[in-house]
Structure 1
Amino acid sequence: MQSLFQILMLILDVVWFFVIAHVIMSWLINFQVLNMRQQIVAQIWYGLNRVLEPLYGPIRRVLPPMGGLDLGPLVVLLAIVVIRIVLQNNIALFY
C-alpha cells in the first residue's frame, strides 16, 4: 500500500510540473519571448493544452469571467496542494 501512496504523490508532482510549465510558457508566449511559429514551441504548447484542458475546462465553466485573467491553473494548483495534504495526513491508511 505504501507504493500506492508513492504513485499518487508522483502523479501529483507530475501534474504540478505540467501546470507550472504551462503557466510559464503562456507568459513567455504573451510577452513574445517565445514564438509560436517555431515548431517545437508550438508542439509543446499544444501538447500541454491537450493534457491540461480536461483539468481546466470544468473549473473555467464554474469560475466567473475575470476579463483576460485565467484562474484555472491557480485552482488546479490549490487542489493539488489540498490533495497532497489530505494524503499526507492519512498516510497511516497506506501502511
Structure 2
Amino acid sequence: MANFISILYTVLSRGLDIYSTLIIVYILMSWFPGAYQSKFGQILATVCEPYLNFFRRFIPPIGMINFSGIVALVVLNLAKSGLFSLFQLIIRIIY
C-alpha cells in the first residue's frame, strides 16, 4: 500500500512540475513576436490559458507587467507542498 501511495505522489508531483514548466515556457513566449500564433503556442495556450485566466480576473496588470503568471506559479508550488503534506498525513494514518 505504501508503494502505491508513493507512486501516486510521484506521478502527481511530477505532473505539477511539468505543468509549472509549461506555464513558464508559455509566459516566456510573450518575449518573441508571433510565438503565440505558432502551433506550439496554440497548444500551450489551450493547456495554460484556463488556469492563467483565473488569476487574470483578480490580478490586474501593473503598467505593462502582468503578475498573474507569477502568482499562478506560486499557487502551483503551494499546491505541491500541500500535496506532500497530505500524503505524509495519509501514510501516518495508515501506518
Residue 7 (str. 1) matches residue 11 (str. 2): yes
Residue 44 (str. 1) matches residue 36 (str. 2): no
Contact 1:5 1:91 in 2 (8 A): yes
| C-alpha displacement of 1:93 | 2.8
| C-alpha displacement of 1:49 | 1.1
Runs of 4+ in 1 over 4 A off after TM superposition: none
Residue equivalent to 2:79: 83
Q: Secondary structure at the match of 1:3?
A: helix
TM-score (norm 2): 0.75
Letter matched to residue 72 of structure 1: S
Contact 1:2 1:94 in 2 (8 A): no
Runs of 5+ in structure 1 lacking a partner? 31-35
Pair 64,25 (structure 1): closer, same or farther in 2 beyond 3 Å: closer
Letter matched to residue 26 of structure 2: H
Distance in 1 between residues matched to 2:28 and 2:70, nearest whole Å: 13
Please give the root-mean-square deviation of Cα atoms over the aligned residues, in Å: 2.0
Pair 23,64 (structure 1): closer, same or farther in 2 beyond 3 Å: closer
* Offset from partner CA, 1:9-64 (integer Å, 9 cap, x none): 0110111110111122212x15xxxxx28xxx711111111111110111111113
Equivalent residue pairs, number: 86
Report which structure shows greater RCO (CA 8 Å, sep ≥6): 1
Runs of 5+ in structure 2 lacking a partner? none
